[in-house]
Amino acid sequence: MPKYALNTDNLSPTTRQGYLQDINKRLVPKIGNKKLGSVKTIDLLNILDDMRDEISITTGKNLSQSTIRNHDNAFVNLFNRAVEWKFIKENPLTTIRRPKVKLKKAQAYTPQEMEHILILINRLELKWVVLYNLAFLTASRAGELATLEFKHVDFEKNGIWRVQGSIDVKGQGTIIKDSTKNRQDSFIKLPEYVMNLIKELKEELDDEKNNVGDMWIGGNSDFLFRDPIGKGISPHSIGQHWRRFCERNKDEIKYLSFHKLRHRSASYLISVGKHAKVVQQVIGHKDIRTTLNIYAHVFDEQKEDVASSFESFNSK
């Protein structure tokens, strides 16, 4: 079974790896001895139903809806591939309803917390000052920041092009993708102070490159966030640095994952009245419905503000 899951070109390495783990953990022990053609819908439904009663060793609670849905996606993909290769005539899961996942309210720092965080960030090494400012101002993912090169910085238009991303894959290290998560290039304009920080960082990195000479291993790459000999930073190390930064300042700021800076950025754009389409483009969601669902509570708050603003027309 696992070999059918691996042979697919339309999945990212991390998705492929996740599917393989799900299949090896859930399908192989229970129906791995069966031929693909003998697997029935009820066999797969029983596996998914058993998962609903399972307790996670990490949380001590029932497995989440999203975990069950991810396993369902892995199973569907496996049998779709078997249909394409004509091992079976139809996918045993196509006739059943997909497990639904209720999107959670996105956690984010408050405006006051973010303001204080930006003050604390200014005490860090320059590359981290630039990285965290970009994380907040552009709502970029760690993988997109890790692969940002100076060729993506437009000093004339004062902004950056978000054109590629990266992912950490177990056993393979960091893999650079030639597109963002949703395969959409986007230009994001930046305030002048951030552009000045980027210029300062470039001067610093150019000096480092000249000093290391033959020790340079970066080839033609010109990453904003790299070590002195040109090796780019990994998405995982960004998250690690952020956690350590929060731990060092735990008396002043709470820890939320690095990804939550992205949510703070989106919430800020909504709070200042930016159209949902603009927020979608900055965040990089492929479907605007994703933006509207995740940030529904923030949009609802804005609706309340709109209602309040009409109170001024009350002539009584």
Contact residues for 22 (Cβ-Cβ < 8 A; gap 6+): 70, 71, 74, 75
Task: State the pLDDT at residue 264.
Answer: 82
pLDDT above 90: residue 64: no
pTM: predicted TM-score of the whole model, two decimal places: 0.67
More confident site: 307 or 187: 187
Same domain (yes/no): 122, 80: no
Is 175 within the bounds of a domain?
yes
pLDDT above 50: residue 154: yes
pLDDT above 90: residue 152: yes
Task: State the pLDDT at residue 254.
Answer: 94
The structural domain count of the chain equals 2
Question: Cα separations (Å) of 236 from 20, 53, 220, 232?
Answer: 21, 32, 23, 12
Same domain (yes/no): 133, 212: yes
Same domain (yes/no): 126, 194: yes
Indicate the residue among 201, 234, 255 that finishes a domain. Answer: 255
Same domain (yes/no): 138, 220: yes
Quick: pLDDT tens for 213-234: 999 999 999 999 999 999 999 9
Same domain (yes/no): 50, 140: no
Mean pLDDT of the chain: 82
* Lowest mean pLDDT segment, chosen from 35-44, 89-98, 140-149, 278-287: 278-287
Q: What is the mean pLDDT of residues 76-99?
A: 89
Same domain (yes/no): 75, 154: no
pLDDT band at 301 (very low <50, low <70, confident <90, very high): low
Quick: pLDDT tens for 197-210: 999 999 999 999 99
More confident site: 51 or 264: 51
Which amino acid would we find at residue 129?
V
Same domain (yes/no): 152, 229: yes
Q: What is the mean pLDDT of residues 10-27?
A: 82
Same domain (yes/no): 26, 128: no
Is 107 within the bounds of a domain?
no
Same domain (yes/no): 55, 134: no
pLDDT above 60: residue 303: no
Quick: pLDDT tens for 105-128: 667 788 889 889 999 999 999 999
Task: State the pLDDT at residue 63.
Answer: 87
Same domain (yes/no): 120, 250: yes
Is 264 within the bounds of a domain?
no
State what percent of residues in the chain have pLDDT above 70.
Answer: 72
Is 298 within the bounds of a domain?
no
CA distance 142 to 165: 8
Same domain (yes/no): 232, 125: yes
Task: State the pLDDT at residue 197.
Answer: 98
Task: State the pLDDT at residue 217.
Answer: 94
Question: Cα separations (Å) of 309 from 10, 266, 302, 312?
Answer: 48, 23, 11, 6
CA distance 245 to 253: 10
CA distance 232 to 24: 33
Is 181 within the bounds of a domain?
yes
Task: State the pLDDT at residue 263.
Answer: 79
pLDDT above 70: residue 142: yes
CA distance 234 to 144: 10
Is 274 within the bounds of a domain?
no
Q: Which long-range contacts (CB under 8 A, 24 or more apart) does 155-159 make?
A: 155/195, 155/199, 157/187, 157/189, 158/189, 158/190, 158/192, 158/195, 159/187, 159/188, 159/189, 159/190
Q: What is the mean pLDDT of residues 59-64?
A: 84
More confident site: 73 or 201: 201
Q: What is the mean pLDDT of residues 1-26?
A: 73
Chain centroid offset of residue 211 CA: 35
Contact residues for 2 (Cβ-Cβ < 8 A; gap 6+): 20, 23, 24, 28
* Lowest mean pLDDT segment, chosen from 22-31, 139-148, 280-289, 296-305: 296-305
pLDDT above 90: residue 89: yes
Same domain (yes/no): 120, 251: yes
Indicate the residue among 39, 67, 84 that finishes a domain. Answer: 84
| CB contact at 8 A, 87 and 36 | yes
pLDDT band at 163 (very low <50, low <70, confident <90, very high): confident
Is 271 within the bounds of a domain?
no
Q: Residue 9 sits in which domain range?
A: 2-84
Q: What is the mean pLDDT of residues 80-102?
A: 85
pLDDT above 90: residue 277: no
pLDDT above 70: residue 72: yes
Is 132 within the bounds of a domain?
yes
Indicate the residue among 240, 255, 270 that finishes a domain. Answer: 255
